[in-house]
Amino acid sequence: MSEVASSDRLRVGAIDCGTNSIRLLVADLPTTGVGDGGPPLVEVHREMRVVRLGEGVDATGRLSPAAIDRTQRALTDYAGTLRQTGATRVRMAATSASRDADNTADFVAMVRDVLGQDPEVITGTEEAALSFTGAVGELDPATGPFLVVDIGGGSTELVTGERVAGAAGGLTTRLFGAISIDLGCVRLTERLLHSDPPTASERGSAVRWVREQLSRGLDAIPLADGAGTVVRRFVPVAGTATTVAAAALGLTTYDADRIHLSTVGFDRTREVAEFFLGATRADRAALGYMHPGRVDVIGGGALILAILADLVAERTGLQAMTVSEHDILDGLALSLG
């Protein structure tokens, strides 16, 4: 972990608090040319903890005291890391669970007390745009347009767009459309996938519900640019996608460098989803690449990704995805420049 930023770089911190996990990124940005088309950020520290903030929210409509307490402990450690690394600007985004809960004010007050500032309870559309910015920054713009998907605990964000030459040089982001769907790995598991492993009846109900929700989502956003060029690259981000990639690549331990920008075929995605759904939680927990906090919900997340891949193939003809380790955290950090 680097302790100080150089004079020509700005040290920033980004925190993403979702339904399942809370994540931190400390990064350096150049003091000139930041933003679209500017030099990339330099990662200083990246960390993720599963706190399950959204546990039970789908059923109760409220954040539980235990979930807020788990999140507070992680955030307290993150605040210490931000002080230690010298981050001078910080942005914290709170997503699906915080949007849905009746007692969001309790969560906001906790964050204010720990971090010294309020979290931004961002809309699903804002979440999608930030994820897009973080996900496609390293990709060749000529391989677009892109469809970026972020499967979270409580929601799934879909966003389409491209990177094109800007008026002042460099590249700028042009979005075609974005949508947030109230469908995520925690929400799906809590609602329909109760058994260990899920029964055939549970899986059937889950498939029908997921396919209906995702079909509506894809119908609501453009999958082509103004000239009719259809999406040419499907880019899933965040923990569900990277865990599926780890399984698809046959990894024995989690290796972010091998997963980042790896290509996974849709056929292999379906095979991994079947494997996760058919495995017991004990079997999943024994996998070397599996984060303990994803053991109980990865089957639901993988099912969402596999069905989405099928729907994307039907609409675009694509047969593979490019999995990115970079997402809304990177988008948040870049926005601080």
Could you report the per-residue pLDDT of 225-249, keeping only the tens digit for each? 888 899 999 999 989 999 999 999 9
User: Cβ–Cβ contacts within 10 Å for residue 135, how many?
Assistant: 27
Q: Interior CA angle at 14 toward 92 and 38, to 5°?
A: 130
pLDDT at 38: 46
> pTM to 2 decimals?
0.81
In contact, 125 and 179? CB cutoff 8 Å: yes
What domains sit in the chain, N to C, each tagged with a CATH number? 9-124 (3.30.420.40), 130-328 (3.30.420.150)
pLDDT at 36 over 80: no
Mean pLDDT value across residues 45-49? 92
Mean pLDDT value across residues 117-140? 84
Could you report the per-residue pLDDT of 170-206, keeping only the tens digit for each? 677 889 999 989 999 999 999 999 999 999 999 999 9
Mean pLDDT value across residues 109-133? 86
Mean pLDDT value across residues 109-136? 87
pLDDT at 5: 53
Please, what is the average pLDDT of the chain?
A: 89
Q: HEC profile for 258-270?
A: HHCCEEEEHHHHH
Could you report the per-residue pLDDT of 298-331, keeping only the tens digit for each? 999 999 999 999 999 999 999 999 999 998 899 8
pLDDT at 61 over 50: yes
Instruction: List 177's β-bridge partners, or say none.
Output: 160
What letter would DSSP give residue 226?
A: T
Closest CA to 329 of 152, 143, 147, 198: 152
pLDDT at 92: 95
Q: Interior CA angle at 71 toward 67 and 72, to 5°?
A: 115
In contact, 192 and 210? CB cutoff 8 Å: no
pLDDT at 1: 47
Mean pLDDT value across residues 41-69? 88
pLDDT at 170: 67
pLDDT at 327: 87
pLDDT at 35 over 50: no
With cut-offs at 50, 70 and 90, classify the pLDDT of residue 34: very low
With cut-offs at 50, 70 and 90, classify the pLDDT of residue 2: very low
pLDDT at 28 over 90: yes
Higher-pLDDT residue of 83 and 327 is 83
Q: What whole-number distance in Å separates Cα of residue 15 and Cα of residue 25?
A: 6
pLDDT at 6 over 70: no
Q: What whole-number distance in Å separates Cα of residue 209 and Cα of residue 303?
A: 11
